[in-house]
Amino acid sequence: YKARCQLLNRYVAVKVLKAEYAKDETFVKRFKAEAQSAAALTHPNIVSVYDVGQDGDINYIVMELLETKTLKDYIEENGAMSNELTLKIAAQIASALEVAHRAHIIHRDIKPQNIVLNKNMVAKVTDFGIAKIATTTGATITSFGNTMGSVHYFSPEHAKGGYTDEKSDIYSLGVVMYEMATGKLPFDADSPVSV
């Protein structure tokens, strides 16, 4: 949701945990822990998280409002990007991932739909909703957000449901770079399983 912060008089985005997950105490704890970890990430190429909270049964994250287009929108409208622009955006995404990985956070859903470009072509990585805290075994939210369309960007180990680490994000970045440079995906098929 788009909302106005009355304290600082600015517009923000409010992301709400789906109601079907709100009754699962373990899921809510993981949601809060991972949201707080994402909030700790400060980088010009990562969307800023301002607050995490709960109001009754509603769990929410307040974050920077980005009213621009996604990298996916840009590619669909313009096709393949120049080598210079591909490298510029890829370097920004890689820089954001470096900061997240240093904080032991693996994004796990790097794709053009989760990269927002402003009018100056500065990239911001969004949606740490299925992020994995690398130091916490088994504390990964996998049911948050819509990851079905992400299979084109999954590393082989992620697609097989195996162990994922920082290298999985790097693989996904490579797929995003391929798509930026060519305007198409490296692997495509009729079904997610075939991909």
Residue 146: the pLDDT is: 41
pTM, two decimal places? 0.81
Closest to 18 (Cα-Cα) out of 119, 117, 146, 112: 146
Residue 132: the pLDDT is: 61
The yes-or-no verdict on residue 147 having pLDDT over 80 is: no
Q: What is the DSSP letter of 126?
A: -
86-117: pLDDT as tens digits: 999 999 999 999 999 998 888 888 999 999 99
Band (pLDDT 50/70/90 cuts) for residue 129 is low
Residue 170: the pLDDT is: 96
Give me the chain's average pLDDT, please. 84
The alpha-carbon radius of gyration of the chain (Å, integer) is 17
149-168: pLDDT as tens digits: 488 898 888 877 777 889 99
For residues 157-184, give the mean pLDDT. 91
Q: How far apart are CA 168 and CA 52, in angstroms?
A: 27
For residues 79-86, give the mean pLDDT. 97
CA atoms within 13 A on the CB side of 85: 17
- Residue 171, classed as helix, strand or coil, is helix
Q: How far apart are CA 163 and CA 59, in angstroms?
A: 28
User: pLDDT higher for 127 or 48?
Assistant: 48
User: Out of 24, 51, 55, 109, which one is annotated catalytic?
Assistant: 109
Pick the range with the lowest mean pLDDT from 26-40, 62-76, 138-152, 174-188.
Answer: 138-152
Query: In what order do the strands lie in the sheet containing 58-64?
Result: 2-5, 10-16, 58-64, 49-55
User: pLDDT higher for 121 or 137?
Assistant: 121
Instruction: Give the tokens for residue 112.
Output: 């053009």
For residues 184-188, give the mean pLDDT. 90
- Residue 10, classed as helix, strand or coil, is strand
The yes-or-no verdict on residue 75 having pLDDT over 90 is: yes
- Is 109 tagged catalytic? yes
Q: Express as a percent the part of the chain with pLDDT over 90.
A: 43
